Amino acid sequence: MKHNFVAMPEVKRNIRSLSTEELIAFFKEHDQPRYRAEQVEQWLWQKQMKSFDEMTNLPKDLRPILEEHFKIHALEIAEEQLSEDGTVKLALQLHDGKVVEGVLIPAKDRMTACISSQVGCSLSCKFCATGKLKRMRNLEPDEIFDQVVAVKAMAWKYYQRPLTNIVYMGMGEPLLNYKNVLTSIDRISNDVGLGMSPKRITVSTAGIAKMIRRLADDKVRFRLALSLHAANDAKRSEIMPINDQNSLAELADALGYFHQNTKNRVTFEYIIFKDFNDTLNDADELIAFHRKVPGRVNIIEYNPIDDGEFQQADPDKVDAFAAHLEKNDVIVNIRRSRGKDIDAACGQLANKNEVAASMDA
């Protein structure tokens, strides 16, 4: 009996998932010089082109070959919201229909993009809206890169100013998407990319000691921030389950190793909750932790989410807390909430029911 086998069409690869070496190898297979890889990368990363036909310095007969083998994933703005205070929040739809959020935070001396590293999050921090969602997948380097491009466009659209800073403080835990996050930062800071200094990029982690040590071994040049929120293991584990496997002692040791290898100071993020971590005793515990690792403290005003489990600390208590830290030689910055009216503030991303629903679709 004769069988007729039908060849399955080749699955097109996302061309921006290829390394430079892989691109060079592809062009070599097709009898093209290696500099074609550099040309294509300029179109993809520097000029953010989404069509091979527009790559006008490539031979016309080469463009259909690229089209045959590769695809270019495009990110679309599903929703754009402008806060009363000037903050801009974007709901960004990925090629598979999943949604993440990115935020532009304008200030007098800077324009900051807050971007996501995962669709959803697996860490279940009690005070964070994203933590209420399951983790659906990691973001690819090009998807992280495209968020920055989209937020950068908002800076020009609303303020006619360039982006100055990037913080990986949106949805997800960056160190659980380690390779893709570092690749995205390389692309963002590369001249064949956005050319942004790594010193203007901050990666925020809930605290995974072994991955912090890996950052140190990789001698990264970007800044690191730890979402601390309590300098007491019992309290921290209550609101951040990850602390059960990454105690404060382990984190202090890993952060010391990071500082020793990179010479970069760490920023400690401390969301202050009413009647939970807002006393001078809590401040003393934070001072003691701070003395183990050189760094500075950002006190962050709490932003309510739908379940109402936590409340914002009284302003007088926040000021007294900060003053106590400063009196003990801790560099402190109080970060007031931005974009609360559009759920764009710290901890509120994916708080809107329609966005959460679209992510579960």
Q: 41, 101, 140, 301: which one is catalytic?
A: 101
For residues 113 and 145, give the distance between their C-alpha atoms in angstroms, rounded to a whole number: 11
Give the long-range contacts of residues 306-312, CB within 8 A, separation 24 or more.
306/129, 306/351, 307/132, 309/126, 309/127, 310/126, 310/127, 310/273, 310/274, 310/276, 311/273, 311/274, 311/275, 312/273, 312/274
Query: Residue 161 is encoded by which pair of tokens?
Result: 């100013």
What is the chain's Cα-based Rg?
22
Give the separation between CA 226 and CA 203, rounded to whole angstroms: 9
| Catalytic residue status for 101 | yes
Say how far residue 351 (Cα) sits from the centre of its chain.
17
Between the alpha carbon of residue 262 and those of residues 126, 222, 255, the distances in Å are 32, 9, 10
Instruction: Give CA–CA dist 240/310, Å, rounded.
Output: 14
Q: Is 195 left (phi over 0), alpha (psi -120 to 50) or beta?
A: left
Please state whether beta strands 332-335 and 295-301 pair in parallel, antiparallel, or not at all (unpaired): parallel
Q: How far apart, in Å, do the first and last CA atoms of the chain sit?
A: 45
Q: Which of 10, 121, 346, 354 is catalytic?
A: 346
User: Does an H or E element contain 202, and which?
Assistant: strand 201-205
Q: For strand 137-138 and strand 88-93, is the pairing parallel, antiparallel, or unpaired?
A: unpaired
Instruction: Classify residue 244 as exposed, middle or buried by CB count within 10 Å of its CB (0-12, 13-18, 19+).
Output: exposed
In the residue annotation, 68 being an active-site residue is answered as no
Bridge pairing between strands 201-205 and 223-227: parallel
Catalytic residues: 101, 346
